[in-house]
């Protein structure tokens, strides 16, 4: 049974591809390589290079590969940059999702797992985010992901009486880190782990943005979740759809307790063997003290769990980055 993975040449998407193959499902990758890496696609996996905005290409791919469902990971994922590039963000994340849903309807494909984001919550005023916590996205990126969830919801209503009613779920998560394959690493220039890795490889000192937050050690607290665990949750959602089991419209893939930036820096020094004291810079505007989500609902339905310690997350990411040269 084939499943299309949009963005399957990316850091997260290529892990989903591997997890699908290991589960016995057949992945098909669609990626325009704007941020993906062709070598991240495993040998033997069907790879279609192109844009999710290409309606004819998406439908043709669905039909030619007899796709049973879509895991939609492709998108413009840089929240900060989205403030400067809102039109690009909406084109990729909103129009792209609309095109995929339109092509799915034309091809008779009814299942979709949407890679959403905890950015839909913005800056929550609760210590632990649950699925129905108020949505107040603080960037065009977060807004685009929330609109994507609305598109899925509305299309499900519109197709409810058809031969192929849409079955969907959205998976929300924050900081995806580590590696489950030594040949795949996070290539983003905006994420904490690769920023620190690049600093250490260059012999420079990583920096903490503010140490006077209302947290135990003064630095921001966030969810950090291993990319391999994220991939397994996507596959579990697909398997649930295949089995015809009920599925929630959204799940938070959260740690339940979070880690501070200082804890991440301490783990970086421990694991890499590079002793450093991070510089402390000013706060970034609008950066909340703490954003942590519970993963209880996903644990119930998707076998979601934190399978890796912080040191294991750092070690796997560090080794994959060093393997890249």
Range(s) within the chain of domains with CATH label 3.40.50.720: 2-175+224-252
Could you give the CA distance from residue 40 to residue 246 in angstroms, rounded to a whole number? 33
Token reading at 154: 């509305």
Q: 187-244: per-residue pLDDT in tens?
A: 998 899 999 999 999 999 999 999 999 999 999 999 999 999 999 999 999 999 999 9
- Evaluate if residue 61 carries a pLDDT over 90: yes
Token reading at 68: 């049973």
pLDDT band at 50 (very low <50, low <70, confident <90, very high): very high
The CATH architecture of the domain made up of 2-175+224-252 is: 3-Layer(aba) Sandwich (3.40)
pLDDT band at 79 (very low <50, low <70, confident <90, very high): confident
- The whole-model pTM stands at 0.96
| Average pLDDT estimate for 167-183 | 97
* Residue 22: per-residue pLDDT: 98
* Residue 325: per-residue pLDDT: 72
Q: Is 178-222+255-323 assigned to CATH 3.90.25.10? A: yes
- The mean pLDDT value of the chain amounts to 96
Residues 6+ apart with CB under 8 A from 52: 6, 30, 32, 58, 72, 74, 92, 96, 97, 99, 100
Could you give the CA distance from residue 196 to residue 318 in angstroms, rounded to a whole number? 10
Rounded (5°) CA angle 208-320-36: 90
Range(s) within the chain of domains with CATH label 3.90.25.10: 178-222+255-323
Q: 96-137: per-residue pLDDT in tens?
A: 999 999 999 999 999 999 999 999 999 888 889 999 999 999
* Residue 238: per-residue pLDDT: 98
Token reading at 152: 């899925």
Q: Is there a contact between 171 and 237 (Cβ–Cβ < 8 Å)?
A: yes
Three-state DSSP string of the chain: CEEEEECCCCHHHHHHHHHHHHHCCEEEEEECCCCCCHHHCCCCCEEEECCCCCHHHHHHHHHHCCEEEEEECCCCCCHHHHHHCHHHHHHHHHHHHHHHHHHHHHHCCCEEEEECCHHHHCCCCCCCECCCCCCCCCCHHHHHHHHHHHHHHHHHHHCCCCCCCCEEEEEECCEEECCCCCCCCCCCCCCHHHHHHHHHHCCCCCEEECCCCCCCCCCCEECEEEHHHHHHHHHHHHHHHHCCCCCCCEEECCCCCCEEHHHHHHHHHHHHCCCCCCEEECCCCCCCCEECECCHHHHHHHCCCCCCCHHHHHHHHHHHHHHCC
Could you give the C-alpha distances from 168 to 53, 148, 149, 189, in angstroms and in order? Answer: 20, 11, 9, 31
Q: Is there a contact between 250 and 131 (Cβ–Cβ < 8 Å)?
A: yes
**Which residue in 11, 78, 90, 141 is the catalytic one?**
141
| The residue to which tokens 């996903």 are assigned | 298
* Residue 123: per-residue pLDDT: 86
Is residue 173 annotated as part of the catalytic site, yes or no?
no
**Number of neighbouring beta carbons within 10 Å of residue 249:** 13
């Amino acid at each position: 049974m084939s499943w299309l993975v949009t963005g399957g040449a990316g850091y997260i998407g290529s892990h989903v591809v591997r997890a699908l193959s290991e589960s016995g499902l057949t992945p098909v990758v669609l990626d325009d390589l704007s941020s993906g890496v062709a070598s991240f696609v495993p040998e033997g996996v069907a790879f279609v290079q192109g844009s999710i905005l290409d309606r004819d290409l998406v439908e043709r791919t669905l039909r030619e590969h007899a796709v049973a469902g879509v895991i939609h990971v492709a998108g413009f994922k840089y929240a900060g940059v989205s403030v400067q590039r809102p039109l690009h963000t909406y084109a990729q994340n909103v129009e792209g999702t609309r095109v995929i849903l339109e092509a799915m309807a034309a091809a008779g494909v009814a299942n979709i797992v949407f890679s959403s984001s905890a950015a839909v919550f913005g800056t929550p005023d609760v210590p632990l985010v649950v699925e129905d916590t108020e949505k107040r996205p603080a960037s065009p990126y977060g807004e685009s992901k929330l609109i994507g969830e609305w598109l899925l919801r509305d299309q499900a209503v519109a197709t409810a009486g058809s031969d192929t009613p849409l079955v969907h779920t959205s998976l929300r998560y924050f900081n995806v880190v580590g590696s489950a394959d030594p040949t795949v690493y996070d290539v983003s220039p905006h994420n904490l782990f690769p920023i620190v890795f690049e600093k250490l490889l260059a012999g420079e000192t990583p920096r903490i943005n503010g140490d006077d937050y209302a947290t135990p050690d003064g630095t921001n607290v966030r969810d950090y979740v291993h990319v391999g665990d994220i991939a397994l949750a996507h596959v579990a959602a697909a398997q649930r759809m295949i089995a015809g089991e009920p599925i929630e419209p959204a799940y938070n893939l959260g740690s339940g307790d979070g880690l501070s930036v200082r804890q991440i820096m301490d783990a970086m020094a421990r694991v890499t063997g590079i002793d450093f004291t991070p510089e402390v810079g000013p706060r970034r505007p609008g950066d909340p003290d703490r954003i942590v989500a519970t993963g209880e609902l996903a644990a119930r339905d998707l076998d979601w769990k934190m399978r890796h310690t912080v040191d294991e997350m750092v070690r796997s990411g560090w080794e994959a980055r060093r393997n890249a040269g």
